[in-house]
Structures are given as C-alpha cells and as structure tokens.
Chains A and B, each alone.
Chain A
Amino acid sequence: MSRRYGPILIGLAAVALTGAVGSVLLWLGGFDPLAAGAALIRGSVGSGRVFFSITLVRSVPLILTGLAVALAFRAGVWNIGAEGQLYVGAIAATWVGLSWAGLPPVVLIPLVLSSSVLAGAAWALLPAVMRSRFGVGEVITTILMNFVGIHFAAWMVHGPMQESRGVFPQSDAIGEAARLPALVPGSRLHLGFGIALVLAGALAWMLRHTAVGFRLRATGTAPEAARIAGRIDTHRTVLLAFLVSGGIAGLAGGVDVSGVTFALYENLSPGWGYTAIAVALLAGLHPWAVVLTGVFFGALQAGAGAMQRDAGIPAAWVGVVEALVILAVLGLDRVRRDREARR
C-alpha cells in the first residue's frame, strides 16, 4: 500500500467494513438492512433539498470540529476537548451578538465569529499550558474541560443569559444582523459551509507549504527529532497548535449559533466535538479529506431521522454506525502499521 494513498484506501475500506458489519447487526436486531440503507440514502442525499438543507448544514459543525481535531492530532496534541471549546465559542458568539445588536452585519458577523474563536482558544489555554509547561496529559484535562464548558453553557441559559421572558432555558435570539447569510438561496445552507471550505484549504496549504506547518508536522510525528535535528521549539509549537485547534472548535460553536440556532441552548451540540474525532481519523487527519468525511457523517445524521421515520429503526443506530467507523479505522490503521513495521 503506497504511503500516499494508504489513508484513502483505509477510509474506503473502513466505510465498506462498517456497512457490512452494520447490516449484520441490523439484521440480528430484527430490522431489514436494505430498507434501512434505502431510508438512510433517501434522507441524506435523496433530493437537493435534503442534501443542501439537512446533510450539508449538519456537516458544518462536524467539518469545523473535525479540522480542529485533525490539526491538533497532526501536531501530536490529543485535544479531546472540541466539545467544550465549541460550547464556549457558542456562548461568546451569542453574547457578542446580543450585546452589539445595533452594528451592521459586515461588522457584527466578523465580531461574533472572532469572539467564538477567541473563546475556544481561551478554553484550550489551560490544558495547553498544563501540557507544555508541566507535562500534564491533555487527554484527561481536555475531557474534563468539556464538562466544565457544557455545564457553563447550561448555567448561562438558566441564569445570566436566559431569555428575557424567563420561560425556557435558552438565550434571546440574536438579531438579523448577527446571522450568517444563506450560501445557496432558498436553502438553509449558510455561509458557514463556505467558511469551513476556506478553512480546510487554508489549513491544508499551511501544513504543506509553510514553515509553521512543517514544524507542526515534525513535532507531531517525531518530537525528539524535531527538537534535536530541527531545533524546533516543540513546546511553543504544541502550544500554538493547541490554541488554534481550540479556536477552530470555538468557531464551530459560533457558526452554529450565527447560522442555525440563532440562540444559545442547553444541548446545542449532539456531541459534535466527539464525533469530530471519528471525522478526523477517517480523513487520515488531512484537512481536505475532513470536508468529505464531515459531509459523510452529516449525511449519516441526516439519514438517521429518515431511517427512524420510514423504516422504524431507532436513530440511535447511527451512533452504532459512527462507533463502528472509528473501530474500523483504528483497526485497519493498526494493521497497516504492523505491516510496515514488519518490513
């Protein structure tokens, strides 16, 4: 298997394997796998409407958090905290959107989005400093920061940011001026998808062509060689990658508020920050591939509704499918590494 196409082959093989194992599980569960597959496809790519207004809309936060995770993993930073970073990004975006409601869109929208980036980066700062200064493993700290972030958002919508009517645990809606314009007229697809595409391109270019990207890849691949042969300040590189990753995850929250929900909710995210790990791994941590896998997972989530409606299969099955994809990717990647190591 060639070095270059290896990850792509693994991705395709993982999807095929998941389809096979998933079908068997469905069949064992007493469901009709063919009907399930048909409903899944109808509900995700069955028409232009479902594709643009449901699948692609759902893929936006998955692509953004997937990019955040992919960037961090490329630098050897195991940021499992995209979920929490997304929530604080959403809080910041909502707050800025409500506080400066009088500004024109050209000023307000960038302000809303940058506030979410800063908030996400700030949320990553503590685990980043703990890792680079004191060597505390970021897997644990970022997971714990997720709980803090999620509950922080919950507290905000029950307390300081609760809607002025004071009935539901949600914030007031942000005004028109803070909302992202539609990308495809007549659909619900908003500018956030374009932002995700541009960001993916920018990250791919950065990793491939710039000195910063090179240092980041070197640090993530072999930190000792990066430090000793490359004289790379690996602590700084880790810190930078961590903060940028947090910022992108925060942006996912900002984009969701500004493009879809227009308000802060308690359970804003159905676990995008975690699914992002599968999105990034399935993409072999490559930014452009993250766009594809993000859309793939977006389609799964969009199709889940149709599956439940049309084939009577609980939407939770999609969670099973997502888990199978992660297991398949990790397993196949392991097999590939073992093969290479035995040479």
Chain B
Amino acid sequence: MTDPRVRLHGIHKRYGRVVALDDARLDVRAGEVHGVLGANGAGKSTLLSILGGMIRADAGGIEIDGRPVDLRSPKDAWANGVALVHQHFALVPALTAIENLALGRGTAASVRPAAVAVMERTGLTVPLDAMVSELSVGDRQRIEILKALLREPSVLVLDEPTAVLTPQEVERLFDLVRELASAGTSVVLVAHKLDEVLAISDRVTVLRNGRTVRTDDAASVASDDLVEAMVGSNEAIPISAPSPPDRTGNEPVLSVQGASLTVDGVTRLHEVSLDAWPGEVVGIAGVEGNGQRELAHLLVGLAHPSAGTVRAPTDVGFVPQDRIHEGLIGDFDVAENIALVLHRTDAFRLGSRVRWRDVGAEANRIIDAYGIVASSAKSPVAALSGGNQQRVVIGRETAVARELFVAENPTRGLDVSAAAFVRAQLIDMAESGVAVVVLSTDLDEIIELSTRIMVLSRGRLASVAPSERSREGIGALMLGGESA
C-alpha cells in the first residue's frame, strides 16, 4: 500500500504559447478512489489524457507499479493496465451496445460472454442488443465504462463521468466505483462538483494553472480549503434567488398555452402551458432528452408548435446548451460572434452593410463589462476558455433581451467561479425586470436560482409546489413522476 500504483511527476505540456501543465504531479494508490479537482483550464483533462496515453507529455515521468513507462498511445496505456473513459463518448450510434463493445476485439458473439460476466460481477447492466442511438446518456456512459472494464484495468480513469447523469444515476455510478475500488482497482476521476468528488474519493488532488497544488485525504480536508486551492482565493459570490415579483397589473411577457410539438412523427412536447412574468426566474428541471431542447426552441422562436399557442417577445435572449456548436462559431472572432446577434439589429446596420466599427466597440464594451479574458475582440473564440466563451454568449444575449431570457444548461462544464458568475448574471437580469427561464439538468442550480420551479418529464410540464421543493421531491418528478 505504501508504493503508489501510479505516479506522474514533473509533467509539463505546452500547446504553442499556452502552458497546459507545469509541474503536475499525481500519485494514485492501489484500490483507492482518487478525485482530481481544479477550475476550467487547470489541466485536469490534459493530465488524465497523458495517463491514458492519448497525449504525450513534453517532460516528466510516469511510473506504474514502480516501473517507469512510456505511454505513446492508448494501446500502451491498456498494456500497462490503464483504461480511460473519456468525457466525450466514442460510440458508434448505428451499432448495438455489444457491437460497440466488440469493436477492435472480435465479434459480438465472441465478446458477449466476457461482457455478460463483467456485467454480472459489477451490476453494471446495459441492454446489449439495443442500438446505441436509442439509448440514454446514462446507458451510453455505462457502455463506455464496460468497454474499459473489459480490458481488466488496474487503473480506471473517468473524465467527468457525472456531468450528464441524473442524481439517481450518479448514485449508481458511485456504488460501482466503490465496488471496483474495494476489489483492488484504482479509480481516478474528475468531476466538477466538489461535494460529489469528496463523497466518493479517498484522496483528492487539486490542480491550479497546470500545477499540482495539494493532495489530501478526502475525509479530513475542509471543502473551503479546497475551493481556495482551486481558485486561488475563496471568494464565493453569494447567491439568492430573487423574491417572487409582484404580478398585479402586469401581463406575463411569455405565455404558452397547451403547446405540443411533434418532430418527425414523435411527440416531443405534450400540451405544455407556461407563463413568465417580468422579474422572476422560472426554473425548469429535467433529465436530458425529455423535451428541454424543444421547449427552449419553442420559447425563442426557433420552433413552432404543432398545436397550441406561444406568445413571446420578438427578441429573446438565448443561451443554448451547447455553446461550442450552437452558441458560438469557434473560427470566428469575438466581435463576429457578437455580431451573430447584432446583425439582426438595425442599430448595427447601415442599409445592407454591417457597421463593423460599432460592432467592434460593442464587443469591447462586452469584453470589459463581463471581464472576458481575451487578447482582443479579434481573437477567435475557440482560443478562449469555456467560462470566457459563456461570458461572450451571455454578454451578447443580454444586449438584446429586453423582456425575456431563456437559458439552457447555462453553467454546464464551467468551473465554480464561472458558474457563479453566470448565475449572478441571470439573477441580475431578473431583478432588472426581465423574465428569465432556466432549463437545467442541474437540480442544485434550479433550486438556487428559481423563484418558481417546474419539471419537464417525457414532454410534459408540471409545477412543483413550494412544499416539494427539495432534491428528492424534484428528482422523483424528473424521473417520470411517481408523484406527478
């Protein structure tokens, strides 16, 4: 137990002028669960990718069971007992689960006995003969983990496994992780939520700006100290949901009456009704794939109801859930990304011309006002960190949202301080008299932000009574409504 199973020391990695890792260290003991913490861009994923053989370090060493190893590819990592489950799934949607497991290993028939054995041993069950495209995110992740376990790793590396899961699914995943660890497997995992990591880990390592800051026993460390180690200072922005607004004499700015939406013959939304008044934050909780995306698109005018009515203002601020593919154009610079909204506004056009000088000035204003770290308005947004990218989106959308603002998973993938900033912005907006609708899979976020909570499950929208306003109550409704 004294010698670590895995030791990474003095790891350096640069990409051009950006230093991703600068003297990062990580020791993982046999049979322990080791959490890796850090803000966005701290280098967590890079470090894990180096351990998984996906990326090579510029300098530094890796030892496994005391032997120095050179991991040039995922194959080398597998040969040394390390299996990495990536943040983004690498499954073929058009194949079944078992076919995906068999890729590169043999035929579905030859792999099945081993897969069934692992499923029985771990309790990790997935429908092996279902098409991956038809499976939930949770199932897909279980397939990825199965894929890794089939290699019988002594070190299992999980990069942000909880980001897409419901609270119940997170519980199941953590049970599995504990079982694997008690059977002697070392598990290294990254998650954004501090309490989750602390709950599951034996020890935690904190990275900041590519450097390992500290490693602690999870049982004895104070979470405040960890937050401070992650962000450099412990300045949590206090947040409280705005008080419910006075509705007297006010009309709702958003009114959805019995709206249904059918896409390609599948009904995604069933007779949804929803009003939003100025000054409130309506939180809509739900597990992914239950109609959030469709509802958000309905509210902002990107989709039209098959039945029922939607009455909404013309210019709605919108934070789409996938900022890389839906919210921003990575190859475009900051000003051009802001122009995605401004080009619709007469103030920034002269006939058919775009007033690029004014757009640039507005971009600089947003960069200053939102504290966006970018070398200039001409930097491509792909070069910004996730938190700064989201600030670009929010700054730009706030510029046009006078009455209604819709945000879909606005803090997904952001670190603690960036997420706090985004939430504070949403509350500010509500307090300035905008109606804010937040759709999120993050229950804590919903509870923290909302003046009113609703749950979207299988395309149906239900109100949550103030008395049911708890993780357990809302979680049950999210999963298909025992009490709905």
The yes or no answer to A226 lying at the interface (CB within 8 A) is yes
User: Considering the complex, which residues of chain A in the window 109-127 have a beta carbon less than 8 Å from any beta carbon of chain B?
Assistant: none
User: Considering the complex, which residues of chain A in the window 221-262 have a beta carbon less than 8 Å from any beta carbon of chain B?
Assistant: 221-222, 224-231
Is the CB–CB distance between A214 and B15 below 8 Å?
Answer: no
B415 to chain A, nearest CB (A): 20
The yes or no answer to B344 lying at the interface (CB within 8 A) is yes
Is the CB–CB distance between B320 and A229 below 8 Å?
Answer: yes
The yes or no answer to B327 lying at the interface (CB within 8 A) is yes
Is the CB–CB distance between A222 and B325 below 8 Å?
Answer: yes
B419 to chain A, nearest CB (A): 20
Is the CB–CB distance between A209 and B354 below 8 Å?
Answer: yes
User: Considering the complex, which residues of chain B in the window 110-148 have a beta carbon less than 8 Å from any beta carbon of chain A?
Assistant: none
The yes or no answer to A167 lying at the interface (CB within 8 A) is no
User: Considering the complex, which residues of chain B in the window 295-320 have a beta carbon less than 8 Å from any beta carbon of chain A?
Assistant: 297, 301-302, 318, 320
A321 to chain B, nearest CB (A): 31
The yes or no answer to B449 lying at the interface (CB within 8 A) is no
Give the distance in Å from the alpha carbon of A230 to the alpha carbon of B318 in the complex: 10
The yes or no answer to A165 lying at the interface (CB within 8 A) is no
Is the CB–CB distance between B18 and A343 below 8 Å?
Answer: yes
Give the contact stretch, choosing among B101-109, B216-224, B335-343, B365-373: B335-343
Give the distance in Å from the alpha carbon of A209 to the alpha carbon of B330 in the complex: 20
Give the distance in Å from the alpha carbon of A214 to the alpha carbon of B335 in the complex: 12
The yes or no answer to B195 lying at the interface (CB within 8 A) is no
Is the CB–CB distance between B352 and A211 below 8 Å?
Answer: yes
Chain B residues with Cβ below 8 Å from A226 are: 329, 340
Chain B residues with Cβ below 8 Å from A222 are: 325, 329-332
Is the CB–CB distance between A225 and B15 below 8 Å?
Answer: no
A23 to chain B, nearest CB (A): 34
User: Considering the complex, which residues of chain A in the window 307-343 have a beta carbon less than 8 Å from any beta carbon of chain B?
Assistant: 342-343
The yes or no answer to B249 lying at the interface (CB within 8 A) is no
Is the CB–CB distance between B329 and A221 below 8 Å?
Answer: yes
The yes or no answer to B86 lying at the interface (CB within 8 A) is no
Specify which of B297, B301, B332, B356 lies most central, judged by the most chain A CB atoms within 10 Å of its CB: B332
The yes or no answer to B81 lying at the interface (CB within 8 A) is no
Number of A-B residue pairs at CB separation under 8 A: 68
A210 to chain B, nearest CB (A): 5
A110 to chain B, nearest CB (A): 23
Is the CB–CB distance between B330 and A228 below 8 Å?
Answer: no
| Contact A211-B353, Cβ < 8 Å, known A225-B328, A226-B340 | yes
The yes or no answer to A183 lying at the interface (CB within 8 A) is no
A308 to chain B, nearest CB (A): 43
Is the CB–CB distance between B302 and A231 below 8 Å?
Answer: yes
Interface string of B386-406 (1 = CB under 8 A from A): 000000010000000000000
Chain B residues with Cβ below 8 Å from A215 are: 343
B438 to chain A, nearest CB (A): 17
| Contact A231-B344, Cβ < 8 Å, known A221-B329, A221-B332, A343-B18 | yes
Question: A218 contacts which of B340, B349, B352 (Cβ < 8 Å)?
Answer: B340
The yes or no answer to A140 lying at the interface (CB within 8 A) is no
Question: A230 contacts which of B297, B325, B343 (Cβ < 8 Å)?
Answer: B343
Is the CB–CB distance between B352 and A229 below 8 Å?
Answer: no
The yes or no answer to B466 lying at the interface (CB within 8 A) is no
The yes or no answer to B326 lying at the interface (CB within 8 A) is yes
The yes or no answer to B16 lying at the interface (CB within 8 A) is yes
B13 to chain A, nearest CB (A): 11
The yes or no answer to B380 lying at the interface (CB within 8 A) is yes
Give the distance in Å from the alpha carbon of A231 to the alpha carbon of B329 in the complex: 13
User: Considering the complex, which residues of chain A in the window 194-233 have a beta carbon less than 8 Å from any beta carbon of chain B?
Assistant: 209-212, 214-215, 217-218, 221-222, 224-231
Residues in B lying within 8 Å of A, measured CB to CB: 15-16, 18, 297, 301-302, 318, 320, 325-332, 336-337, 339-341, 343-344, 349, 352-354, 356, 380, 393
**26 pairs across A/B with beta carbons < 8 Å?**
A209-B354, A210-B353, A215-B343, A217-B332, A218-B332, A222-B325, A224-B325, A224-B326, A225-B327, A225-B328, A226-B340, A227-B302, A228-B297, A228-B302, A228-B320, A228-B326, A229-B320, A229-B326, A229-B341, A229-B393, A230-B340, A231-B301, A231-B302, A231-B344, A343-B15, A343-B18
What would 6 more interface pairs be, CB under 8 Å, given A225-B326, A226-B329, A229-B337? A3-B380, A210-B354, A224-B325, A225-B325, A229-B341, A230-B341
